[in-house]
A and B are shown apart, each in its own frame.
Chain A
Amino acid sequence: MKQKIAALAFSLALISQNATAFAAEAPTNILNVSYDVSRELFTQFNQLFAQEWDAKNKTKFEIRQSHGGSSSQARAVLEGLQADVVTFNQVTDVQVLHDKGNLIPANWQTRLPNDSSPFFSFPTFVVRKGNPKNIKDWDDLVKAGVQVVFPNPKTSGNGRYTYLGATAYALKKFGGDKAKARDFAKALFSNVPVFDTGGRAATTTFVNRGIGDVLVTFESEAYGIRHEAGEDKVDVVTPSVSFLAEFPVTVVDKVVDARNSRVAATAYLQALYSPSGQELIAKNFYRPRDAAVTQKYAAQFPAVTLVSAKDFGGWDAISKEHFADGAIVDQIYVNK
């Protein structure tokens, strides 16, 4: 019996060695831990990067992928998931890697261009085909008789961005009057028939259950939804103002230093900024940073004025003012 247990322990140890067979030599693979709906983009991008990398370095390079909810993925990296790079959809999820685990330096966001966000998106509108309620901007969403669908800002990042987009529009319209912006958001909330917990559920409510006149979601998702629901079922309408959604990326220093994979991991993230990487990003309906690529896909991406978290005083201030317990969202949500 003892021998059997010993053999079992040994084989377990062997497997674990295998799974982490990271020698001092630069490894031929890296792990990209990402958020849940990015699979298609990164499957294509990984192929592109591996081809270029192999041609240059005469290797057989492999990029492994892990997808899940951005916050739970950050948690897993903190607990030891060996991510060489993370590509998330919320700045706070990357920041936590510094704050709670010291896995990356405080200045991580300055290491790559555009605050380490190689692409971006923002909340936009999906309406029924032909836009029967003639919805053009946030103004139209607070009108009587218009039903708006987006997930609960208390539980969903998607919902938070929607709230911030509406607030940004209202502040601009009312010359920075915060009380009026608050009333505007309240009016918007009162037009929501059901608050789903997440973006996918809200999509189901709008597309499959046929509830609502307009669905508010990220532009990157909107075109996917249009593709899924059928081009003859829904249209995408871009508002005049919206809130910038960044997709922050970083090398996880503690992991790449231990694995000696910094060179490849850095090259991988830099390739996201390359013309070919940016083009792939645009093809997947995320907005690119590269001016030439933006020009090329101008027809696909109507002009929009974007307000960023910095304009609102940074994510900490936003969280305190709008989303903390008892803050604005709670007040207008309860008083509905």
Chain B
Amino acid sequence: MRLRINPITETPAVKFTLLGIGLLYIALFLVLPVVAVFNEALRKGFGAYFVAISDPIALSAIKLTFITAAIAVPANLIFGVAASWAVAKFDFRGKSFLITLIDLPFSVSPVVSGLVYVLLFGAQGLVGPWLQAHDIQIVFAVPGIVLATIFVTFPFVARELIPLMQEQGTEEEEAARSLGADGWQTFFRVTLPNIKWGLLYGVLLCNARAMGEFGAVSVVSGKIRGLTNTMPLHVEILYNEYNMVAAFAVASLLASLALVTLVAKGLLEWRYGHELGVART
């Protein structure tokens, strides 16, 4: 949205100074580190770069990261839509408590989120002994990693949808119902089209975090090479081993994923800003 008349009457000098500070800040704290990552990754040329990312252990870390995201994101998508639907379209007791609960993973340190699962499913934990007796491994295996990832990425979709759906109100759904549509029809024909861009936006953020999560996953991973290491964990290990080129090569993959997310997000905002804007006005 562009305004023809600038309501703020600052001199150009002030305007450019502010703009300059903003740009400098972005260059220093965002662009420079990203450039440094790619620079370090390619320090020994493309050959070393591809050797580093096609290493079987690196590949398995990449695979595990994608598997984790492929489970965590849909799970949180279903939960997020259901929760925001409930919060936005119905009135019930304890609604604000539910909203607070949804926000919980944002306020808890990821390390604590990981430890919670160790306390629950670890051998000395609450249900750990029972799981061990039945030969089911949750922590220090893929399920633990997926659970921890779901936990930390839990609020992204719901947080995006709740204000949007609250803003939209229930009139359109009511109209659909009075014209004879059933619940699912109302959802797919009326609600979903209204929230689709907000939903996509939430899914993008959720996915970015799911792939990049370090703290919670590092606690429940067990760090078994080629088996329970995700990309962020693999980066740390390579770095600790003084294997800088490989560490930054894998880091650059993560950065690329983040950049793709950012570009997709930017495109969404540019193209469907008016619809997305509802969530933020």
Contact = CB atoms under 8 A, between A and B. Distances in A.
A79 B117 CA distance: 11
A1 B75 CA distance: 11
A101 B136 CA distance: 19
Contact of B124 (A1, A79, A200): A79
A253 B135 CA distance: 16
A39 B225 CA distance: 11
Interface string B240-256: 11100000000000000
Contacts of B164: none
Contacts of B237: 67
A31 interface: yes
A15 B143 contact: yes
A228 interface: yes
Determine which residue in B82, B223, B241, B242 has the highest number of CB atoms from chain A within 10 A of its CB, and name it: B223
Interface residues of A, number: 33
Given A64-B224, A80-B122, A13 B136 contact: yes
Nearest to A76: B222
B228 to A, nearest CB: 8
A81 B78 contact: no
A4 B124 contact: no
A1 B77 CA distance: 12
A40 B139 CA distance: 27
A81 B142 CA distance: 12
A8 B240 contact: no
Contacts of B82: 1
Given A79-B128, A80-B132, A64 B226 contact: yes
Nearest to A75: B118
B118 to A, nearest CB: 5
B227 interface: yes
A275 interface: no
Contact of A20 (B136, B146, B226, B241): B136
Given A66-B222, A79-B124, A20 B227 contact: no
Contacts of A36: 240
A132 to B, nearest CB: 27
Contacts of B78: 1, 4
A79 B125 contact: yes
Nearest to B242: A228
B138 interface: yes
B136 to A, nearest CB: 5
A20 B71 CA distance: 20
A244 B240 CA distance: 25
Nearest to A20: B137
Interface in B101-143: 118, 121-125, 128, 132, 135-143
A267 interface: no
A50 interface: no
Contacts of A228: 242
Contacts of A39: 241
A22 B122 CA distance: 18
Contact of B123 (A15, A65, A80): A80
Given A12-B146, A19-B227, A78 B222 contact: no
Interface string A1-32: 10010001001110111111010000000010
Nearest to A29: B227
Determine which residue in B71, B121, B135, B241 has the highest number of CB atoms from chain A within 10 A of its CB, and name it: B135
Determine which residue in A4, A64, A258 has the highest number of CB atoms from chain B within 10 A of its CB, and name it: A64
A270 B279 CA distance: 64
Interface in B212-241: 222-228, 237, 240-241
Contact of B140 (A12, A65, A82): A82
Contacts of A82: 137, 140
A81 B140 contact: yes
Contact of A64 (B121, B135, B146, B227): B227
A19 B139 contact: no
Contacts of A22: 135
Given A4-B78, A79-B124, A80-B137, A19 B142 contact: yes
Given A11-B71, A79-B118, 5 more contacts: A8-B71, A68-B223, A101-B123, A200-B240, A228-B242
28 contacts: A11-B71, A12-B143, A13-B136, A15-B141, A15-B142, A15-B146, A16-B137, A16-B138, A16-B141, A16-B142, A19-B141, A20-B137, A39-B241, A40-B241, A65-B224, A65-B225, A66-B224, A66-B225, A67-B237, A68-B223, A76-B140, A79-B122, A79-B139, A79-B140, A80-B123, A80-B140, A81-B139, A81-B222
Q: Which 5 A-B pairs have the closest CB atoms?
A: A79-B122, A80-B123, A19-B141, A20-B137, A81-B140
Interface of B: 71, 75, 78, 82, 118, 121-125, 128, 132, 135-143, 146, 222-228, 237, 240-242
